[in-house]
Amino acid sequence: MATMRVVDAIVLILEKEGATEAFGLPGAAINPLYSAMQRRGTIRHTLARHVEGASHMADGYSRATGKIGLCLGTSGPAGTDMITGLYAAIADSIPMLCITGQAPTDKLHKEDFQAVDIESIAKPVTKFAATVLEPGQIPGYFAKAFQIMRSARPGPVLLDLPINVQMAQIEFDINAYEPLVPDKPAATRAQAEKVLDLLVASKHPMIIAGGGVINANASQQLVELAELLNVPVSPTLMGWGSIPDDHPLQSGMVGIQTHTRYGNVSFLASDFVLGLGNRWANRHTGGLDTYRKGRTFVHIDIEGTQIGRVFSPDLGIISDAGAAIDQLLAAARGRLAAGTMPDYSSWADECTVRKGTLHRKTNFENIPIKPQRVYQEMNAAFGRDTTYVSTIGLSQIAGAQMLHVFGPRQWINAGQAGPLGWTGPAALGVVRGKPNSTVVALSGDYDFQFMIEELAVGAQFKLPYIHVVVNNSYLGLIRQSQRPFEMDYHVSLGFENINSPETNGYGVDHVKVAEGLGCKAVRVQDPSKLAEGFAEAGRLAEEFQVPVVVEVILERVTNIAMGAELDAVNEFEDLAAAAADAPTALTPLEAARGVHAGTSV
């Protein structure tokens, strides 16, 4: 045993728990912890410009790596600034540890400067939040925090540390500290057999792969299961990348916003659906009567309260997605050996062929640029190893309809919360977690402007990535949602910029702002120059090791396909009809990979 400050013990615990990547801002009430970090030198810290930005950086890091990112801040507003980040993390089941400083324990009831009850404020958006009042409780609270973050459905935790607790001396031996084993329910072989009983009774089965598959690091097993059964797989927005887009059994994303046309058609032709680690989110299902009609459902999820939350499945199983897949693999191998598994190859081929048709046109030559062309050019410019980061808006919806993702943790998206401003700081966290990788962020102009100051963090700490900003100078998704009200009210961001007349009424000069924050920027106004712009951005990012903004000037108004029902997505006829321009004759390899010249996959 050794006598040491509480904060020195905390740093040793963080090391042992494997949480050594921190994002935050120092301040008076958290400076003791920073002093321990400086003394020990084992926790890398990235100085944010805003504490909300720091929380999104920690979130992005956690999503990209599967590890636990740290967000640090002082008392009072630092904690309240973290709330949006905590909400984004808990909504998508992301483990993240927020640590705040706090006023001394004897001042908590006296309305001291920057003393706020952050524990109560944070509880609705965390798995666990606590103000630790006794120094001797610190090791136990941290062990509990890490166990809770990793157990069952993962999620964030906030620990609030009064400054006198941080500075206190305790007896502590890191060699006697052991991380607690997380609680992860696991399916049994008998349950897996029940699932297969229902599956083999169907003619057109489909697997819906949710974010739980990626959280469980079970993407390889998922592909193995799909290939063993010869059953198509549709990833959700959070499960995108769990099976590569060009795998023959990847049948396309389903949804009323983020989806593919062929994915929806194949789903509507299915008669059995196995949901693995998914939530049946409303943007995925649309109207439940349409979604459920004529289909048998099995729902497997690590969180028991998710089973039956949206609708009651025919069979529900509480299990970690990876553990369930392992049991399903064992059960399926047994049935294949016994010759009791149906052959679903004709159904699988039918879904694969759809990937070569039912596309939306992207090969537009218009100036200003149509957004669909941007995603076509991004697919051509960025390779299979690219990690995309996006959060909300028409840019994210169109990106999810048209971009390609080829591996787990290569689509980083605040899917359920969708906070504007998340994309940029999250991308910086992703770069921390994936150094020397190609990271491409995608934002509309409004999302980009929300936390634009965090670009300076990328410049200061040499965190290169490419940030594609599709600029229509509009709140595009809100404008589109105002159409039923026959209004276009306070959704335009355009104005004549007296300092940048070249912006032509589009308002903010994103190129100048990015350069003023120490980054590089490229503006593209002609679709034929997009490839050149993306290549130049890659060169600049590599040469200067800073974020590079590619601002693409779009037409002001484009409606992106969406609707309220899977069978009633509004394609907006001018774009849907134009898809006839694309070829339909495909080679077998092209059909398997969903390649379609002039369109996105």
User: What CATH number did the domain enclosing 518 receive?
Assistant: 3.40.50.970
- Asked whether residue 125 falls in the same domain as residue 152, the answer is yes
- Asked whether residue 116 falls in the same domain as residue 251, the answer is no
How far lies 381's CA from each of 402, 534, 537, in Å? 14, 7, 11
- Asked whether residue 172 falls in the same domain as residue 194, the answer is no
How far apart CA 48 and CA 46 sit, in angstroms, is 6
How far apart CA 574 and CA 361 sit, in angstroms, is 10
Q: What pLDDT is attached to residue 110?
A: 79
Range from 355-369, 443-457, 474-488, 491-505 that averages highest in pLDDT = 443-457
Where do the H-state alpha helices sit in 104-257?
A: 118-122, 138-150, 163-167, 189-200, 211-215, 219-229
Checking if the pLDDT of 205 tops 70, the result is: yes
How far apart CA 72 and CA 491 sit, in angstroms, is 35
Query: Is 575 a domain residue?
Result: no
H-helix or E-strand spanning residue 378? helix 371-381
- Asked whether residue 491 falls in the same domain as residue 513, the answer is yes
- Asked whether residue 205 falls in the same domain as residue 140, the answer is no
How far apart CA 315 and CA 299 sit, in angstroms, is 6
Number of neighbouring beta carbons within 10 Å of residue 203 = 12
- Asked whether residue 386 falls in the same domain as residue 535, the answer is yes
- pLDDT tens digit sequence for 131-157: 999 999 999 999 999 999 999 999 999
- Asked whether residue 209 falls in the same domain as residue 166, the answer is no
How far apart CA 275 and CA 211 sit, in angstroms, is 11
- Asked whether residue 202 falls in the same domain as residue 141, the answer is no
How many domains does the chain fold into?
A: 3
Query: Is 132 a domain residue?
Result: yes
Domain range for 331 is 189-354
Q: What pLDDT is attached to residue 495?
A: 85
Q: What pLDDT is attached to residue 593?
A: 40
Residue 418 pLDDT grade (very low, low, confident, very high; cuts 50, 70, 90): confident
Query: Is 405 a domain residue?
Result: yes
Checking if the pLDDT of 573 tops 80, the result is: no
- The pTM assigned to this predicted structure is 0.93
Checking if the pLDDT of 245 tops 70, the result is: yes
- Asked whether residue 271 falls in the same domain as residue 234, the answer is yes
The strand pairing partners of 97, in sequence order, are 70, 157
- Asked whether residue 9 falls in the same domain as residue 91, the answer is yes
Query: Is 591 a domain residue?
Result: no
Query: Is 80 a domain residue?
Result: yes
Q: What pLDDT is attached to residue 367?
A: 93
- Asked whether residue 134 falls in the same domain as residue 236, the answer is no
CATH number assigned to the domain comprising residue 194? 3.40.50.1220
The DSSP letter of residue 343 is -
How far apart CA 20 and CA 236 sit, in angstroms, is 30
Q: What pLDDT is attached to residue 276?
A: 98
Across all residues in the chain, what is the average pLDDT?
93
The strand pairing partners of 387, in sequence order, are 439
- Asked whether residue 239 falls in the same domain as residue 109, the answer is no
Domain end point (choices 124, 149, 176): 176
